[in-house]
Amino acid sequence: MAKYVYDFTEGNKDLKDLLGGKGANLAEMTNLGLPVPPGFTITSEACRHYLAEGAVPDGLEREVAEHLGAMEKRMGKTLGQADDPLLVSVRSGAKFSMPGMMETVLNIGLNDESVHGLAKQAGGNDRFAWDSYRRLIQMFGKTVLGIDGELFEHALESLKGHRQDTDLGAAELQGLVETFKGIVRDQTGKDFPADPREQMRLAVMAVFDSWNAPRAILYRRQERIPADLGTAVNIVAMVFGNVGNDSGTGVAFTRDPGSGQQGIYGDYLQNAQGEDVVAGIRNTIPLQELERLDKSSYDELLRIMETLENHYRDLCDIEFTIERGKLWMLQTRVGKRTAAAAFCIATQLVDQGLITLDEAVTRVTGDQLAQLMFPRFDSGAEKKKIAKGMNASPGAAVGKAVFSSARAVELAGQGEDVILVRRETNPDDLSGMIAARGILTSRGGKTSHAAVVARGMGKTCVCGAEELEVSIGERRFTAPGDIVVNEGDLISIDGTTGEIFLGEVPVVDSAVVEYFEGGEPGDDLVRAVDRIMRRADEVRRLGVRANADTPEDAARARRFGGEGIGLCRTEHMFLGERRQLVEDLVLASGDEERQAALDALEPLQKADFVGIFQAMEGQPVTVRLIDPPLHEFLPDLTDLSVKVATGDATDKDRKLLGAVKRLHEQNPMLGLRGVRLGLVIPGLFAMQVRAIAQAAKEVPGAKPEIMIPLVAAVQELEAVREEAAGILADLGVEALIGTMIETPRAALTAGQVAEAAQFFSFGTNDLTQMTWGFSRDDVEAAFFSRYLELGMFGVSPFETLDRDGVGRLVTIAVEEGRAARPDLKLGICGEHGGDPDSVHFCHQAGLDYVSCSPFRIPVARLEAGRAAFAECDSDTR
Ligand code: ADP
Ligand code: MG
Ligand code: MG
């Protein structure tokens, strides 16, 4: 038969699924012999049953009655007994901590009779008894009966006036109880339930129901906690911190959750109960001062904290209460901490012999490492916030506002820090983005051009700040409240929060990045990062490469521990002054003119590749042949039309307008791009392959790999592969030839495709786009926030690889590709390559490497190391 109730002596810390975190850890502490009040836990299974069926499961009430009976026997008093009442708390507690989301009711068992019994047992302490009673009605009214908590707060406030709650006397509190009872009667039409067992029964169901309260649902979505877990309920004998000044309640950490330093961190409040400490109703005192107030409780508390750290082998946070000099433990759990503390604590625990270095690797996350890599604003600094946009690429940037790429380059050249402000960016802004400290746009979402490029460069970016009116022509923007920022005015943007500030906010640099850039591990934090990264590198099976298109990026990628380039895009090599040549190519009226345009491009391309091969010093470089539609390199249709209409146009402009119109596509992402370009425009791919081969000949040890984008059928690949192989053979250069797998058809026919490919690289951006049928440039800003709200997915599939759909295509392609060609090399080069959860997926899918932007390389290295330990496969948060 199902068992729905566990006494604290029956549970343990590994039963969180069933007993919730609070219940499991209360049981663990009980079994460690720590002073925990007696109690028992109703399982989350009972809650799931209640939520599904609308009624508690058969047998639950009997089981609860039995456990309560046992508790009453042990305590020698019954729940709510008139002359000596046993009181209990009814506390929620789910598997994952959801701070403040769910409910707890204290002092259950009090009524008009037992309140006198409680006073008598406390040596005639009427004040304490009435204080407890008013708390019960207040919490019960709000939580169980659904009354607006403000009503009780107001009544309390107006009684208190300027005094503190401890200044209220017994008579006043007794009056308050009457007022509260009146509120209950007014609001519900019924009296406050006097029957203790009924109080308890209703409170248990209210805790069950709180699982589906709107704020709990919202919180779970944000934190990606599954919606169907349910919560356990803990029934705990009350102990009292509000009996007088020899009593109190507090919270503590076993070490500093901010820095990881060992020491005593906590707050204590005398003569108080429950939430009073955190609610800030009175000023708490630092835990150290408890030593002066109650030395023996203090010493015992420190001993217990040490016991808990050694037992959990981690930082713990605790909640405790002292009742007339006797210490009681009411909660513990492995505590949350900052990113810096996570690294420091993990290595300290290794030094203390509590955990192994391997465990230390599993105790930190890639997200935490990423946080440590961004410069940040000095938290103590004064700032004037003027607007907020999307936190597109983290970091803190300060500079003069500029409104064009050219101006950004110009001022940066004079040594100025600038922030490039645009409505939105396009590929032509690249030089300005490189020159700027940060990028701010008023339009576009987290996958807009600005956001993607900025993240790739590790550059701070706030995008889609819609409150801003950006006028490029007037070189200024306005913000709400008549704020005007002109070119040259200083602004500060926080890519971690999306905030925009007027003026200069002081920035602190990341010591961790300095270390990755080749600095010595100086302070404790950097030493901790260094140790953990070394171990992660030793154990990881996945290789880590970089997406890098320039020698500078390539060099940074190597410094950050990259083992090659997994994606070198070539399209930026057609921008800037070279647009001219692309225009010639598009306008070419015959083979000769086209070849002339290509011949002009070839030496430029070659020089680009030489630079990258040199920077990589013999590591493999996967070069992707040109991918985007050609019209992206031509002038804008509207601009051209205006020019032609106003008569300012040259002959070439008029021809270009014709070409732009001809090349216009309804769905460019599904149009003439990738391998299709190579097949339709003779000589284009051949020119690129020749440039790669010539460059490789010039740089000793260069290891080029040629990658064909957007292949859907093996026939496409065969055609361009044959030509490329011929060129390589002619020039006597060896290079792998492979393909991206980024169309669903390529994935589904991977066995065929592998016959013509020496490697696959999963282009998961396009693969996600085409698998979901999402036009990436449109959907994110248009409706992804709504989709997230509706719970259609917990996280954008462009951020974290969708294992069920896109992941399945990857798995099929891996299996069939390897079956056809056992030595097939497999990698991934979408943005997912630097996403923790996606890295774990790649490890499980058996890929050889992930490729990501240079700044994400350390994150990918760490997560690849963590993935090698099976136990943290699913937990990358
Ligand atoms: P939360 O999950 O929000 O932390 P808790 O169930 O821990 O809620 O309850 C909040 C506080 O109420 C506890 O920190 C503790 O101070 C107090 N409390 C809960 N149960 C008892 C009890 N049996 N005796 C005394 N205080 C209690
Ligand atoms: Mg608590
Ligand atoms: Mg692609």
- Name the closest-CA residue to atom 13, ligand 1: 274
Measure 58 CA to ligand 1 centroid, in angstroms: 28
Closest atom, ligand 1, to C-alpha of 240: 25
How many Cα atoms sit within 13 Å of 485 on the Cβ side? 31
Torsional class of 208: left (φ above 0), alpha (ψ -120 to 50), beta (otherwise): alpha
- Tell whether ligand 1 has an atom less than 6 A from the beta carbon of residue 242: no
Burial of 729 (0-12, 13-18, 19+ CB in 10 A): exposed
From 22-36, 576-590, 702-716, the region with the lowest mean pLDDT: 576-590
Report how far apart, in Å, the C-alpha atoms of 30 and of each of 9, 87, 125 are.
6, 19, 30
pLDDT in tens, 361-416: 999 999 899 989 988 888 788 899 999 998 888 889 999 999 999 999 999 999 99
The residue-averaged pLDDT of 552-559 equals: 93
CA–CA dist 497, 130 (Å, integer): 46
Tell whether the model's pLDDT for residue 786 goes beyond 50. Answer: yes
Please give the pLDDT value at position 281. Answer: 66
Pocket test for ligand 1, best of 215, 273, 319 (most atoms within 8 A of CB): 319
Q: What percent of the chain has pLDDT over 70?
A: 97
Residue where the block lists tokens 């002596």: 9
Ligand 1 binding pocket includes 89 (Cβ within 6 Å): yes
364 Cβ partners below 8 Å, 6+ apart? 342, 343, 346, 532, 862
Q: Whose CA is nearest to atom 18 of ligand 1?
A: 274
Residue 446 burial (CB count, 10 A): 21
Cβ atoms within 10 Å of 468's Cβ, excluding its own: 23
pLDDT value, residue 579: 87
47 is annotated as an active-site residue: no
The response to whether residue 104 sits with its C-beta less than 6 Å from ligand 1 reads yes
**Ligand 1 and 26: CB distance under 6 A:** no
Q: What does each C-alpha distance from 443 to 402, 424, 425 come to in angstroms?
A: 16, 6, 9
- Catalytic residue among 829, 842, 843, 852, which? 829
- Single out the catalytic residue among 47, 49, 344, 449: 449
- What is the whole-number distance in angstroms between the Cα of residue 276 and the centre of ligand 1? 10
**CA dist list (Å): 157 to 164, 186, 280:** 9, 19, 14
Q: What is the mean pLDDT of the chain?
A: 92
Residue 385: enclosing H or E segment and its boundaries?
Answer: strand 384-388
For ligand 1, whether the C-beta of 367 sits within 6 Å is no
How many Å apart are CA 707 and CA 345, to the nearest integer? Answer: 44
Which numbered ligand comes closest to the C-alpha of 267? 1
Q: How many residues does the chain have?
A: 877
Q: Where does the pLDDT of residue 280 fall: very low under 50, low under 70, confident under 90, or very high at 90 and above?
A: low
Q: Structure tokens of 56?
A: 């508690």
Model pTM?
0.83
Quick one: which of 795, 606, 821, 792 has its CA closest to 697?
606
Ligand with an atom nearest the CA of residue 273: 1
**CA distance readout (Å), 801 to 221, 373, 674, 742:** 17, 23, 22, 13
- Ligand 1, atom 22, lies closest to the CA of 238
CA distance 330 to 234: 11
The verdict on the CB of residue 608 being under 6 Å from ligand 1 is no
Report the alpha-carbon distance of residue 160 to residue 166 in Å, rounded: 9
Binding site membership of 106 for ligand 1 (Cβ less than 6 Å): yes
Alpha-helical segments (H) within 681-774: 684-698, 714-731, 744-748, 750-755, 764-772
Q: What is the separation, in whole angstroms, between the first and last Cα of the chain?
A: 37
**CA dist., res. 227 & res. 546, Å (int):** 37
Determine the pLDDT at residue 278. 66
Q: How far is the CA of 601 from the centre of ligand 3 (A)?
A: 23
- The runs of H, that is alpha helices, within 96-251 are 114-121, 126-143, 149-160, 170-188, 196-210, 214-223
What's the Cα-to-Cα distance from 8 to each of 5, 71, 77, 105, 748, rounded to whole Å? Answer: 10, 11, 19, 19, 53
Residue 829 annotated among the catalytic residues of the structure: yes
Q: Tell me what percent of the residues of the chain surpass a pLDDT of 90.
A: 75
pLDDT beyond 80 at 444: no
| Model confidence pLDDT, tens digit, residues 42-86 | 999 999 999 999 999 999 999 999 999 999 999 999 999 999 999
Least reliable range by pLDDT among 515-529, 532-546, 842-856: 515-529
The ligand 1 atom nearest the CA atom of 320: 16
Query: Which residue lies with its CA nearest to atom 3 of ligand 1?
Result: 100
What are the phi and psi torsion angles at 449 (to 5°)?
-55, -50
Q: Please work out whether the CB of residue 321 comes within 6 Å of at least one atom of ligand 1.
A: yes
User: What's the pLDDT band for 874 if we cut at 50, 70, 90?
Assistant: very low
Residues 6+ apart with CB under 8 A from 81: 114, 117
C-beta of 442 in contact with ligand 1 (< 6 A): no
Q: What would you report as the CA-atom Rg of the chain, rounded to the nearest whole angstrom?
A: 33
Who surrounds ion ligand 2 at CB < 5 A?
Answer: 319, 331
CA 669 to ligand 3 centroid distance, Å: 9
At 661-687, the pLDDT tens digits run 999 998 988 999 999 999 999 999 999
The confidence score (pLDDT) of residue 279 equals 64
Let me know if 723 is exposed, middle or buried by CB neighbors in 10 A (0-12, 13-18, 19+): middle
Residue 660, Cβ density class (10 Å: 0-12 exposed, 13-18 middle, ≥19 buried)? buried
Q: Which of 89, 92, 110, 277 to mutate to test the pocket of ligand 1 (most atoms within 8 A of CB)?
A: 89
